């Protein structure tokens, strides 16, 4: 049977699905979760293990080749082992994004699911600042678990959300880490979501990051793959690499191949799109959801959910969800 490929109106093929397993997290990072927290969706409205696997199977039948499991924090979900085992049976590359607090409990689970690459969220290399940013004192555990992953042979990417006057003073420390260890640092421009107090003045841009790094290190540009969100570099002779995800100042929407499924079964065709399509309810009713998926993708805007000016992304009328409720 011929596989349907998911194209949008701009002829971009979409073969990468991010699935959020939960809205819960064991950290409280302000750029992701509003200070007052979020009203969690009732358990009955969230995807079950069986529904996650069933929906994922439909997407792979439509040509999805890569699935990233996200949250919240996906490892807080009690049936995470079973979910990963289910997804590992699908014909996809399976990856995961985590804050690494619980990773030591799941090394074998990850290996058995065929996961070889993980993205770790870590915005500081200082314990006191970690406690301030994440509202939890788990820095030493996270660093220890990153070392554990490296020792076990995992490809480890470190996601660093860069916020001016918060952690810009640590950019060179992160790059130095990539020089001495096989970690792959990804500096992410601060993006606006509901309740995260975004302001343009807080953005430390791609050009500024690169200028700071090149002032200290001899660096070289690496080749970016076709659908890369990150502009990759490395210090010459380094064990690892670093990159910048310039969502706000140099968008990469022209090559986007990503779809997102929230923990409550809503399909978002763009991280910044306010519109979303309920797949879970019709799936539970036994309906064919393929037309819904195809129609949602065909409505995808060229960039940033149809918003031209980045400032408008922070408008409460546009930002329908906080990051914690979208999925990383």
Q: Would residue 116 count as lying in a domain?
A: yes
pLDDT digits (tens, 9 = 90+) for 189-206: 988 776 677 788 889 999
- The token duo for 32 is 């992701």
Q: Work out the average pLDDT over 77-99.
A: 98
The pTM of the full predicted model, rounded to 2 decimals, is 0.92
Q: Would residue 287 count as lying in a domain?
A: yes
What is the reported pLDDT for 35?
65
Q: Would residue 3 count as lying in a domain?
A: no
Q: Would residue 84 count as lying in a domain?
A: yes
Worst-scoring range by mean pLDDT, 57-71, 128-142, 246-260? 246-260
Q: Would residue 259 count as lying in a domain?
A: yes
Output the domain CATH number for residue 26: 3.20.20.70
Q: Would residue 146 count as lying in a domain?
A: yes
Q: Would residue 270 count as lying in a domain?
A: yes
Q: Would residue 9 count as lying in a domain?
A: no
Q: Work out the average pLDDT over 245-269.
A: 92
In 163-276 the beta strands, taken as DSSP E runs, fall at 183-189, 219-221, 231-235, 241-245, 258-261, 266-268
Q: In which domain, by residue range, is 122 found?
A: 16-326
The C-alpha atoms of residue 88 and residue 7 are separated, in whole angstroms, by 25
Mean predicted lDDT score pLDDT of the chain? 91
Domain count along the chain = 1
What is the reported pLDDT for 317?
45
The C-alpha atoms of residue 198 and residue 215 are separated, in whole angstroms, by 28
Q: Work out the average pLDDT over 298-314.
A: 77
The C-alpha atoms of residue 129 and residue 9 are separated, in whole angstroms, by 44
């Amino acid at each position: 049977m011929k596989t349907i490929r998911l194209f949008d109106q701009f002829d971009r093929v979409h073969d990468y699905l991010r699935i959020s397993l939960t809205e819960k997290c064991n950290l409280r990072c302000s750029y992701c979760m509003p200070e007052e927290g979020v009203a969690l969706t009732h358990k009955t409205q969230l995807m079950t293990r069986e529904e996650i696997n069933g929906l994922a199977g439909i997407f792979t039948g439509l040509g999805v080749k890569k699935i990233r499991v996200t949250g919240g924090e996906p490892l807080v979900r009690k049936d995470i082992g079973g979910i990963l085992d289910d997804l590992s049976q699908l014909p996809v590359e399976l990856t995961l994004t985590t804050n690494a607090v619980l990773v030591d409990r799941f090394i074998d689970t990850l290996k058995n699911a065929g996961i070889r690459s993980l993205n770790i969220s870590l915005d500081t290399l200082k314990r006191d600042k970690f406690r301030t940013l994440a509202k939890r004192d788990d820095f030493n555990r996270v660093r220890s678990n990153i070392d554990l992953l490296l020792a076990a042979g995992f490809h480890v990417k470190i996601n660093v959300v860069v916020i001016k006057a918060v952690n810009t003073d640590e950019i060179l420390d992160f790059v130095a880490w990539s020089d001495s260890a096989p970690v792959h640092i990804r500096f992410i421009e601060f993006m606006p979501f509901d309740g995260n107090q975004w302001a343009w003045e807080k953005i430390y841009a791609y050009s500024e990051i690169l200028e700071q790094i090149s002032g200290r290190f001899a660096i070289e540009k690496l080749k970016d793959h076709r659908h890369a969100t990150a502009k990759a570099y490395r210090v010459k002779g380094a064990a690892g690499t670093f990159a910048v995800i310039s969502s706000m100042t140099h968008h990469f929407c022209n090559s986007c191949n990503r779809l997102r499924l929230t923990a409550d079964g809503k399909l978002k065709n763009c991280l910044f799109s306010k519109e979303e399509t309920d797949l879970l309810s019709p799936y539970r009713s036994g309906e064919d959801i393929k037309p819904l998926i195809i129609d949602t993708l065909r409505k995808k805007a060229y960039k940033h959910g149809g918003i031209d000016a980045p400032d408008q992304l922070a408008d409460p009328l546009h930002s329908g969800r906080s990051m914690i409720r979208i999925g990383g």
